[in-house]
Structure 1
Amino acid sequence: MARGAGQQTRSEAVHDRIRADILGGRLRPGERLKFPELSERYGVSTGAVREALLRLAAKNLVSSEPHHGFQVTDLTPRGLAELTDARSEIESLALTRAISDGDLAWEGQVLAAHHTFEQTPLADDNGDEPGEAWLVAHADFHTALLAGCANRRLRDLAASLREEAELYRRWLRPAAPDAHAFADPAGHEEHRALLDAVMARDSEQAAAVLRGLIALTAELVLDTEPPA
């Protein structure tokens, strides 16, 4: 039993590290993921790597084909359009359910997550925008919003779509160098409007604001080319 638990712990650890490297751009879209190389890179067995990649494939961060192995999910404009459409439908439905199902404790969780998000700087210490801390706080706020939904399958589906969206977010750029997806680059105005609608239990307005936030990706372009 202890050996099994140890293997599970190692698999979870390498899953988190590979996920961070994918979302951080250190493993690029379309890059082949070879067991021996990853095993050496992360200091774990190939079995732990395989289990981690299977979990990441379930989140659409990794893809696999027979005889070709695993690779970081390739990103395409069509894939982004389909993902945006699916997120708009599924997340707005989950949010509507959360507003209907959520209790006072859920409201407190949402308020706390929003406060952390609003107080987290967009750029990190290296000047990168958005920074890792901002990405985590942003994801945590949206996770808290949907946590009130009583339908676990709906929550899980929405979470899977958001996970894939985080991969796309890493490689999205404004269509013009001086453009921003938000009037406020950190999106505080839009997210405050979303919070206000949720706290007012106005599911129609909350869903509309959320759909608007998701639709902002249509104003961005994919840029996965290595720098010159």
Structure 2
Amino acid sequence: MARARSSSPTRSDVILGQIRVDILNGRLAPGSRLGFADLGERYSVSAGVLREVLTRLVEQGLAESEAQFGFRVVDVSIERLVQLTDARVAIETLVTRQAIAAGDIAWEADVVAKHHALARIGDSLFSTGITEEWLTAHEAFHASILSGCKNAYLIEMAVRLRSISEVYRCWSRPEHNRTHRDVAGEHREIMSAAIGRDADRAVELTEAHIRHTTELLISGRTAELSSP
């Protein structure tokens, strides 16, 4: 009889979470080298665990592996962000539409529950930095909507592109510091459209949510580069 797999996080899960948060908050800068010695000392972890963690980061799109050079945090640029945004809009709106068409009552309940968990945390991250708690809840909310889609390949692609896009949050000052953007309200409207089975509205809101973030990030980055 096979042993039941423990639901407790492994050492690699814990380190993966710590490194992801550090990447998304810019403490590990885009394009910076992820050396085993430096990371081992920083996180008090063995090379074996790091090898597994870095491989998983590559799979998630947060790191890159190059022959002779090892691992690096994924690099960023305005051109890459524009291309990433177009890809996300194309894939995520497709998956969202299919999810709304195929999702059942259990799917609706999960979307509502994940939104509630995210709303309870709030958007304090825009002034204090991304916390692992908010990051987990934010990913879970958007993933819950996508999960209604029956095509696992499309879901995997949408989740990976969303993961890569999170790197850009550290690229310039948080957008909330420059605008009165109601991020919580955007999430609430997306949730309502999804469980209300209004696919056209949900797709429209999802695209606006993605593109608005991109526009603000590019605006902030451009302002920083042009400042003396």
Q: TM-score, normalised by structure 1?
A: 0.83
Instruction: Identify the residue that residue 186 of structure 2 maps to in structure 1.
Output: 190
Cα pair distance change 1:132/1:53, threshold 3 Å: closer
Instruction: Identify the residue that residue 97 of structure 1 maps to in structure 2.
Output: 98
Instruction: Identify the residue that residue 156 of structure 1 maps to in structure 2.
Output: 156
| Deviation larger for 32-41 or 209-218 | 32-41
Identical positions, percent: 42
Tell me the alpha carbon deviations over residues 188-212 of structure 1, each in whole angstroms, 9 at most, x when there is no partner. Answer: 2222221221122111111111011
One-letter code aligned to 1:200: G
Cα pair distance change 1:111/1:211, threshold 3 Å: same
Instruction: Identify the residue that residue 3 of structure 2 maps to in structure 1.
Output: none
Instruction: Identify the residue that residue 64 of structure 2 maps to in structure 1.
Output: 63
Instruction: Identify the residue that residue 215 of structure 2 maps to in structure 1.
Output: 218
Cα pair distance change 1:60/1:178, threshold 3 Å: closer
* Structure (1/2) with the larger helix percentage: 2
Cα pair distance change 1:174/1:34, threshold 3 Å: closer
Conserved in 1, the CA contact under 8 Å of 2:30 and 2:76? yes
Shift of 1:169: 1.9
Whole-angstrom distance in 2 between the partners of 1:33 and 1:122? 29
| Deviation larger for 27-36 or 17-26 | 17-26
Unaligned runs of 5+ in 2: 1-5
Whole-angstrom distance in 1 between the partners of 2:177 and 2:27? 23
Could you say what secondary structure the match of 1:50 adopts?
A: helix
Could you say what secondary structure the match of 1:220 adopts?
A: helix
Tell me the alpha carbon deviations over residues 5-36 of structure 1, each in whole angstroms, 9 at most, x when there is no partner. Answer: 9xx93333322222222123221111111112
Q: TM-score, normalised by structure 2?
A: 0.83
Indicate the RMSD between aligned Cα atoms, in angstroms.
2.8
Whole-angstrom distance in 2 between the partners of 1:84 and 1:101? 25
Matches within 5 A, 1:105-120: 105-120=106-121
Instruction: Identify the residue that residue 144 of structure 2 maps to in structure 1.
Output: 144
Whole-angstrom distance in 2 between the partners of 1:71 and 1:46? 16
Instruction: Identify the residue that residue 40 of structure 2 maps to in structure 1.
Output: 39
Aligned residues: 215
Matches within 5 A, 1:66-81: 66-81=67-82
Conserved in 2, the CA contact under 8 Å of 1:122 and 1:131? no
